């Protein structure tokens, strides 16, 4: 009996998970040779367009290795009754941990201090500018989903007061609700962006939000680049409208605006929020489990409502 065929547009990691996929499935990587496939494995950043779906008339499942679906044409998937799965929960702690790390790196000038030493400035008698404390500050979370709430747990554990904004007030939390992003920015010193991206919230963190955050404020984005207006952020950093930023995501990855590259008070990482071996293995296992469920005709473990 032949193995089920699958189009793979994004690799599973670690390597043993990719090997498990290859053991159980006939793996294709050329979409033009995949007209008969029913399953596609992709990622949140790679996605799947309507044009790509049109090349696969038998497509029935899009398995996303990640939680972002903004690059998947969900309207087309719904129209064609194509199921979509993601890998929620298993990466929440890793991404929340990354957000917290970026906050410390930005506030305490950790990356800047590293360059300061390597460039010989310390040995030459230079003094690194003073940083600021993260502890004892007020944290705002833009996007109070799985990742946002896990981050809130970590922040509360460190003694920070936590504010959040979401589509509606959540009754099962002690954190303080803010009706919109502007009021959230006014309430906090550290603004963490963990929301999912869509056409309605592009540039949500722009000049007005950054101005409301103020001179002591720090922006941390571990969600999607388009949620933060990169030009407005660069100007806010250059003019000291805010104190700093930590960014793991960008509009046009892997390309980063030159103004952000040059900003000493901006810590940059290459979209590695979930890039721990434990998180990636758990994500890959959930992908494999969803694929196995589909092949066996069983309910999907983590379907995404399209």
Q: Which residues are catalytic?
A: 224, 253, 271
Separation of alpha carbons 5 and 40, rounded Å: 9
Q: Which two tokens stand for residue 197?
A: 């991206």
Phi, psi dihedral angles at 229 (to 5 degrees): -70, 105
Long-range contacts of 295-301 (CB under 8 A, 24+ apart): 295/4, 300/61, 300/83, 300/85, 301/85
Structure tokens at 174: 């002690």
CA distance 234 to 146: 29
DSSP line for 157-203: HTT-EEEEE-SS--TT--SEE-SSHHHHHHH-SEEEE-PPP-TTSTT
Closest by CA to 99, choosing from 222, 216, 7, 187, is 222
Distance CA 39, CA 168 (A): 35
């Amino acid at each position: 009996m032949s193995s089920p065929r699958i189009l793979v547009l994004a690799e599973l990691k670690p390597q043993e998970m990719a090997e498990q996929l290859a053991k159980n499935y006939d793996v294709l990587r050329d979409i033009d040779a995949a007209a008969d496939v029913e399953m596609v494995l992709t990622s949140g950043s790679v996605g799947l367009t309507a044009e790509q779906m049109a090349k696969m008339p038998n497509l029935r499942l899009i398995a996303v290795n990640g939680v972002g679906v903004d690059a998947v044409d969900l309207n087309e998937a719904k129209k064609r009754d194509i199921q979509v799965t993601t890998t929620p929960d298993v990466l929440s702690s890793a991404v929340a941990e990354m957000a917290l790390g970026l906050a410390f790196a930005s506030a305490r000038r950790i990356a800047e201090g590293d360059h300061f030493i390597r460039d010989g400035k310390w040995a030459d008698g230079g003094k690194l500018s003073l940083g600021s404390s993260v502890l004892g500050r007020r944290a705002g979370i833009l996007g109070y989903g799985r990742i946002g709430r896990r981050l809130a747990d970590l922040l509360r554990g460190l003694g920070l007061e936590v504010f959040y904004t979401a589509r509606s007030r959540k009754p099962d939390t002690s954190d303080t609700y803010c009706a919109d992003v502007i009021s959230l920015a006014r309430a906090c010193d550290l603004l963490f962006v963990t929301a999912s991206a869509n056409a309605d919230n592009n540039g949500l963190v722009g000049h007005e939000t950054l101005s409301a955050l103020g001179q002591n404020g720090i922006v941390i984005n571990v969600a999607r680049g388009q949620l933060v207006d990169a030009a407005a952020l660069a100007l806010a950093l250059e003019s000291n409208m805010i104190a700093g930023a930590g960014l793991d995501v960008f509009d046009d990855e892997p390309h980063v605006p030159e103004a952000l590259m040059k900003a000493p008070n901006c810590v940059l990482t290459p979209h590695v929020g979930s890039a721990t071996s434990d998180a990636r293995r758990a994500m890959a296992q959930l992908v494999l489990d969803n694929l196995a469920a589909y092949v066996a005709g069983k309910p999907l473990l983590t379907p995404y409502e399209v």
